[in-house]
Amino acid sequence: MVAVGLAQGTAVAQPDPPAAGTGARAAAADDPYTQAFLTQYRKIKASANGYFSPDGLPYHSVETLMVEAPDHGHQTTSEAVSFWMWLEAAYGRVTGDWAPFNAAWAVAEKTIIPQHADQSTSGSYNPSSPATYAPEHPLPSGYPSALDGSVRVGTDPLATELAASYGTMDVYGMHWLMDLDNVYGYGNKPGTGGESGPGAGASYINTYQRGAQESVWETVPQPTTDLFKYGGPNGYLDLFVGDASYAKQWKYTNAPDADARAVQAAYWAFRWASAQGKSSEVAASVAKAAKMGDFLRYAMFDKYFKRIGDCTDPASCPAASGRDAQHYLLSWYYAWGGAAADSGGGWAWRIGDGASHQGYQNPLSAWALSNVPALTPKSATARGDWSKSLTRQLEFLTWLQSSEGAFAGGCTNSWEGSYSKPPAGTPTFYGMAYDWQPVYHDPPSNNWFGFQAWGMERLAAYYHETGNAAAKAVLSKWVAWAASETTVGADGSFRFPSTLKWTGQPDTWNAASPGKNAGLHVTVVDYANDVGVGAAYVKTLTYYAAKSGDKDAAALAKALLDAMALNTTAKGIAVPETRRDYNRFNDKVYIPDGWSGTMPNGDPIKPGATFISIRSWYKDDPDWPKVQAYLDGGAAPTFTFHRFWAQAALALAFAIYAELLVDGGGTGGDTEAPSVPAGLTVTATTSDSVSLSWSAATDNVGVTGYDVYRNGVLAGNATARTFTDTALAAKTEYRYAVAARDAGGNTSALSAAVTATTKGGSSGTGAVKVQYKNNDSATGDNQIRMGLRVLNTGSAPIDLSTVKVRYWFTSDGGPNTFGTYCDYAALGSSNITHSVTAVSSPTTGADRYLEIGFTGGAGTLAAGASTGEIQLRTNKSDWSNFNEADDYSHATNTAYVDSSKVGAYVAGTLAWGIEP
């Protein structure tokens, strides 16, 4: 497929960028990928397209009705700001104009990096007493969490040298979240340290404060500077932390991957500007990035500066001094706060985090901060810290690589956030426990392929700059795995993994003799065509191919880039998304009994509140009728979102491909497609498979593979001239065609089609069992939460559409209607059905059952296989409380065990369990 569509789409009325300056790419005027970058850049920067707020910051998305990590599209994240910096660096490379890059840093300093007025009492910080310990809890219902001064915390070894280096105790890092339209109305305006209430202007905001199970749908947003104007008598503080009394205060949270990406952007700006003889033009901004990297080291420390390794009890785990609390990885966050200026007392605190995720690591930034003089931080120990962090990050990725090539989750120094003891047999990395879903569980944090692509793009960039052999070894295995799970069709369709499933564990880390991780495996649950993730994937392939010379990786990068470019819109490049998770707008937000307060707009905050009830302004959004129709029983709404980070990543993918594989002599020049494959033949059929073969196609350079289509939809890729399509329905006719693909990403027309009919299959009852765990320790609240897994214990596959699972309980009075939800399923929540049915003959412990089923999309369950986790919950329509203690299927175990009181039926016959 040639690069058609790269410059298509609606042009935005905006002056062209300046002509290429001294040292800029000579090909900027005619290279199609550089032109695609400039087209995308203009769309992003055009004011009519709505990517930027009046304060000059990028919105998370152009569209407002957006709930994912931020809970409103017109919030922004430090992630978006870091992508903006990188976008402007690439613009400087192409045009020689560095003013936009410097402007991005200037805006960040006035907004998302808190100024002194926003952290006015930071000078009161005592490094020998960083913070008071409060344990984390698995569920929001465990909060507020009581402060516990009896648990010893360690000493902060960074604060004194940072203050000496920069002349202030203020922290220089981005706060992760801002409400750019002030829709909540807190009015935490940058540079004021105040809470000015509703009105125009950007506002700091925070969320996610209550344990690993707290999803975006269960959060209570709060102001970063809480002056008790909103919320309850103590503002929002006593929803999260239990204390004898409360003081007005400020607090900020940093997302380390974003600050590391800002450093990464500054590195590219310095390298490209230096090549143009313009390093002095970016020197001031690059120095700011070095300063940010100095403070980013707080992400390398245990939350309470306790000793790293074997820390399995909060009381006995030693408080550390010096570097004993430093794990040298990029953890999930660091945070800092203190008393408000008018609170009557001066104090401040800082914490790190002991949980580290593979997707947050950034070897390129660690290398730049320890090897590039212009980016070397001022503090005496910073260069050494980043040098050691680089080594530790590479070890971490090696430790987490599965047999297939994808990377498992991460590790933690504080199991469950409370320094608890991990399960027996849990492997460790420098004494820190392996966690397949570090930090958050709804949905599991490492099941998203995007974290694979984000992390590997950084590793590939580091490999490209240094040629590091360890990085290449890890990358080669990952690229081979990802490519094997990726398909790009002749019609421009494309897909790559979306949701991943993990089994097994890595070997305990031994630096002298790393294990093979033979028992750690990943499988792909479902696939998607997310263009933002696709852009990161393309950048990974491009960096890797340019350094290694891997022509297949280069061809795949081009094919994906060209396919994504066909999805152009007036605002960028985007694909429609069906948001089935929007049925959670009515999710309950946990509020403790006896607590009440109000949001700035007057929405009440009290027990029984829901996501939408404390955000009633969402009902005024122009897209709300689509969501309301879904909540009323209609179809799930479809949106085409333009996320800033994704649109910037696409622009960068074009620019990087142009720089490295067009300028660099890659495969961009071949535009001749292969011949059409002939002789497509059905060679065999079974009840669930069709086997095909065909004759070889020819090409001026060489055929590298074939795309196989089933009923007009891409079914898979093949490198040989045979293919077997599996997991099909019995007694069903299918139509197949094949296209050939070459190393340049060009694809032939489709072959003549053939039809095949699968053989008859036997339904059989099969043999299954059900495993259950309790996801809610409270037995008297208004929801029943559980996790279920179905295992095939027989010797033949089972069609999951024939399987039903029943969880029996009592309604305990109230209405006869129930809400049911699948919050997560390894097979995909859309493939799970769920409803509550009355028992025909009620008995003790059971007058209702929650029945779980599977759609045809769930496929078959192989012998010995498991469906993976299915997270479910139900509530009465009036949200009155249950008494789960006497429910037939209820149990207290919080880890999966076989449950004979949860029934499984295959083809209508009880195959597991005992009915009540």
CB 784 within 8 A of CB 809: yes
Which amino acid would we find at residue 916? P
d(CA 160, CA 166) in angstroms, rounded, equals 10
Closest to 771 in 3D by CA, of 792, 794, 788: 788
Instruction: Classify residue 660 by its DSSP letter.
Output: I
d(CA 757, CA 711) in angstroms, rounded, equals 12
Which residue in this structure is represented by tokens 């958050």?
Answer: 440
Helix spans in 148-301 (H): 159-166, 256-275, 279-295
Residue 86: CA count within 13 A, CB half-sphere? 28
Burial class (CB in 10 A: 0-12, 13-18, 19+), 425: exposed
CB 223 within 8 A of CB 206: yes
CA distances from 665 to 94, 658, 670 (A): 18, 10, 11
Q: What DSSP string runs through 566-581?
A: TTB-SSSB---EE-GG
CB 802 within 8 A of CB 907: yes
- State yes or no: is 324 an active-site residue: no
Within 10 angstroms of residue 110's Cβ, the number of other Cβ atoms is 14
Beta-strand ranges (E) seen in 636-750 are 638-639, 681-685, 690-693, 703-710, 713-718, 722-725, 733-742
Give the β-pairing of 145-146 and 241-242: parallel
Biggest alpha carbon distance in the chain? 85
Burial code of 439-466, b = ≥16 C-beta within 10 A, e = fewer?
Answer: bbbbbbbbbbbbbbbbbbbbbbbbbbbb
d(CA 45, CA 51) in angstroms, rounded, equals 7
Which is the catalytic residue, given 55, 491, 552, 621?
491
Which residue in this structure is represented by tokens 């613009």?
Answer: 91
d(CA 175, CA 168) in angstroms, rounded, equals 18
d(CA 369, CA 377) in angstroms, rounded, equals 7
The CA-based dihedral angle spanning residues 136, 140, 144, 147, taken in that order and rounded to the nearest 10 degrees: 0
For residue 804 the two structure tokens come to: 């039903």
CB 774 within 8 A of CB 910: no
Three-state DSSP class for residue 104: helix
Which residues on neighbouring strands pair with residue 737, listed in sequence order? 709
Q: Which residues are catalytic?
A: 491
